[in-house]
Amino acid sequence: MIVLNILLLIVGFVLLIKGADFFVDGSSSVARLLKVPSVIIGLTIVAMGTSAPEASVSISAAIAGSNEIAVSNVVGSNIFNMLVVVGVCAAMKPFDLNKKILKRDFPINIVANAVVLLFIVIGSSIARIDGIIMLLIMAAYISYLVIDAMRNREEVSEDVKVMSPLVSIICIIGGLAAIIFGGNLVVNNATEIARAVGWSETFIGLTIVAVGTSLPELVTSAVAAKKGENGLALGNVVGSNIFNLLLILGLSGSISPITVDTRAIINTSVLLIMTVAMYLVCLIKKKLGRGIGIAMVSLYVAYTVYLVIVG
């Protein structure tokens, strides 16, 4: 049985890699066709698509009453996105930071994190009213992005290859399907292997499930960074983290109130601290190089060791 899980895990990785490749090509083409900045595409379409596994896992967990997985999956995924996804992209190819992301989206990410932490500290849960408030904030954010995109259309560069609308849509849909299916294969089989070892639900949620559901962000952003689409790569991470906090936890809490424990409060606080620290580094450096990227990945490894120690 374990051998079958490992084989399916490998199939999932292949689907993620190829699906992300097609998805980035299709999304970049759509951005050019609509004359919309690629960073907006990264913050919306790509972010929503790569957050699909987190949504599936957290909403299903909330409905089933597995509150630990519902919350720890989102928190763990966001920590992984912030440290590993961005870190790997920087280590692969150093890039300048998008000023609009630093000025607009990063602060919103911090606010979203603070709102979630406030709700779970005050009520020890994410109640339906909390979930609804989070969804309203998400709706306002998306509306602002759309309005801003319409005001800041960019001309298509002559040296940029633009696919036809039909081919672009096929790439996006096919790539997204592969990403979601591959992500689910990775998560389901990795979780089965982890449970066979005897790890706790919280640990599984913060590590195996979180990493598994974040693989689309990692692969998509890495492919985008390799192709020079740095706005898409960084925008995908920041957008995904906002979507995970406001949309996924908002939907989960609206459908079924999520009760949390002290560990959830601690880990959400860790996420907030790391996000603020990352934001300060970005403001100071203005550019992420290989050294910072390696340091970020190393910090995640240290965090994972901490999780293993505390169980």
> Can you list the domains of the chain with their CATH numbers?
2-151+162-310 (1.20.1420.30)
| Long-range pairs for 203-206: beta carbons < 8 A, 24 or more residues apart | 203/307, 203/308, 203/311, 204/69, 205/61, 205/68, 205/69, 205/70, 205/71, 205/72, 205/73, 205/76, 206/72, 206/73, 206/75, 206/76, 206/267, 206/307
Average pLDDT over the chain reads 81
Residue 238 has pLDDT above 50, yes or no: yes
Please report the pLDDT score of residue 160 as a whole number: 47
45-100: pLDDT as tens digits:
666 666 777 777 777 777 766 666 778 888 998 999 889 988 888 888 877 777 88
Identify which has the larger pLDDT, 30 or 52.
30
Residue 266 has pLDDT above 80, yes or no: yes
Q: Which pTM was predicted?
A: 0.78
Residue 157 has pLDDT above 80, yes or no: no
